[in-house]
Structure 1
Amino acid sequence: MNRDAVVELVGAGYAYEEGPAVLSGIDFAVPEGRSIALLGRNGSGKTTMLRLLSGGLRCASGRLRLRGEDVSYDRAGLTRLRTTVQLVVQDPDDQLFAASVGQDVSFGPMNLGLAEAEVRERVREALEALDITALEDRPTHLLSYGQRKRAAIAGAVAMRPRVLILDEPTAGLDPHGQERLLAVLDRLRASGTTVVMATHDVDLALRWADDAAVLTPDGLRTGPVAELLADRALLGAARLRRPWGMAVAGVLRERGLLGADAPGPRTPEELEEWAAAVSGP
């Protein structure tokens, strides 16, 4: 067990009814202040693992711990968990249900029994954090896909969680929408929110995360994101490709253009900046 973990799975396993085990013996700790990319091929169990972490599913074996204590799945235990850990699912239409953005974002805080002034303050903060203040009175069915994504995240942020869990948050977004969402996540991290993101996009993980957790048929591997994504055997087992940035850095090092310990470009934009700096005025 990890004493520094906000939330933690210990020896966790899960199987859906009449099916084989999806996860078995999973140990996964989410420490304060880190950004973590959960990686794995489709069907590897990423979404199941996120639902176990957030209490949406109950471990068939093992335990879920919050601040070092086993989570109880009664009303009080789940309320305590969900004021600390919030999950945003992949499809925002599975999460949004109220008539307007403001009503939807206010739902969670209202269910906590907070005073009306506190609810209004939380809604205001969440809308500002997601840069959608102008959408407060907009009907949810009139939002674009990217706006619905941010509205769904705002509903989770309004609960002021210590850990925000996102299932494939950039899926379905165009490049501009992805950049806007990543900027939002950067602001949330700067304000002290720990973010866990499930994705199969290794380039995004390398660029964004501090740490990675990689699901393979043999179990879960965790560690610094650059270290894990440099492990070709691990990537092969997880059916993930090598990150673009690592491939480019490898070519540059082979040609003597980049030092062995120098960080390589992670995006095409960073490659352009590197090339301009090297070539000089």
Structure 2
Amino acid sequence: MSGSVPLVALTGVSFAYEEGPTVLSDLDFAVWEGRALALLGRNGSGKTTLMRLLSGGLRPRAGRLTVAGAPVGYDRAGLTRLRGTVQLVVQDPDDQLFAASVAQDVSFGPLNLGLSDDEARARVDEALAALDITALADRPTHLLSYGQRKRTAIAGAVAMRPRVLILDEPTAGLDPDGQERLLTTLDGLRANGTTVVMATHDVDLALRWADDAALLTPAGARVGPAERMLAGTELLRRAGLRLPWGVAAARLLREHGLVDEGTPSPRTAGELAELVLRPPRG
């Protein structure tokens, strides 16, 4: 891990909605700087609740949220500081977009930080460029395609320059080209120092993209390196997930002696092709 203290952490956290069952109980969960983290679990497992707890949108009934080891206060000042560090982008961009144009929507957060017009404009320009939507700056938000609305919602979060960007099912509803463009964008954000957390049901995407994977099961959260976590058949079953195709393919190749034991699972079709064409050692 990059550092001895997690960038954001929940410690001993429990949460239940009004007049509802407990969603999360005595949860310890950490986001480490520089590590791409995939959050997976069946519907109703608590993924959305967990993301909202991390971003300050919900306050735990018990336990605490810390940023770089310091407890987060839930007064206005404390939440303002938190949102300068952690930003959540919800799954449906229409739940997040409300301004008349793309640039106006992306500028909302920076202006609320009290930045000058020039400083806010610089952040908007930076975020639009990062999401490859500079040409859409003056476009009315109601005229955007679904993929463009997704990018605009993410740009609004990026304009806050968060250290942690949390995305709820960011590739849902995108065509293959849109998914690839978004993943390239996320790679660029990570290269510039943003730690990204992605909630997804797509185990293949998680294996390909993430450094670490967090699986939410009825017994709690299990977190570790993505390849190891996504190869645990029983753990995946308890989380309501299937085995990624790359892990299944690697197991089949090992059973037939076509690759060495310990060979990493392919994360893309290209890696699978290289694996098959490369003779085993010995």
* TM norm structure 2: 0.95
2:24 counterpart of 1:23: yes
State the 1:99 CA deviation: 0.4
Letter of the structure 1 residue corresponding to residue 30 of structure 2: A
2:205 counterpart of 1:204: yes
| 8 Å contact kept, 2:101–2:137 | yes
Tell me the residue number matched to 1:137: 138
| 8 Å contact kept, 2:258–2:276 | no
Cα distance in 2 for partners of 1:166, 1:64 equals: 19
Cα distance in 1 for partners of 2:154, 2:278 equals: 38
Tell me the residue number matched to 1:270: 271
Gaps of 5+ in 2: none
Tell me the residue number matched to 2:34: 33
Letter of the structure 1 residue corresponding to residue 64 of structure 2: R
Deviations 1:26-71 (A, max 9, x none): 1011111110001101110000000000000101111111121111
Hey, which bits of structure 1, 4+ residues long, moved more than 3 A?
A: 272-278
Tell me the residue number matched to 2:247: 246
Tell me the residue number matched to 1:118: 119
Q: Secondary structure at the match of 2:221?
A: strand
Q: Secondary structure at the match of 1:5?
A: coil
Tell me the residue number matched to 1:74: 75
Deviations 1:129-148 (A, max 9, x none): 00000000000001110110
Mapping 1:46-195, distance limit 5 Å: 46-195=47-196
State the 1:175 CA deviation: 1.0
Deviations 1:75-112 (A, max 9, x none): 10000000000000000000000000000000000000
Tell me the residue number matched to 2:219: 218
Cα distance in 1 for partners of 2:216, 2:275 equals: 33
Compute the RMSD of aligned alpha carbons.
1.2
- Number of aligned residues: 277
State the 1:275 CA deviation: 4.1
Gaps of 5+ in 1: none
What is the aligned-residue identity percentage? 72
Cα distance in 2 for partners of 1:229, 1:213 equals: 9
Letter of the structure 2 residue corresponding to residue 219 of structure 1: G
Cα distance in 2 for partners of 1:223, 1:151 equals: 31
Cα distance in 2 for partners of 1:27, 1:257 equals: 41
State the 1:116 CA deviation: 1.3
| 8 Å contact kept, 2:259–2:275 | no
Cα distance in 2 for partners of 1:186, 1:97 equals: 27
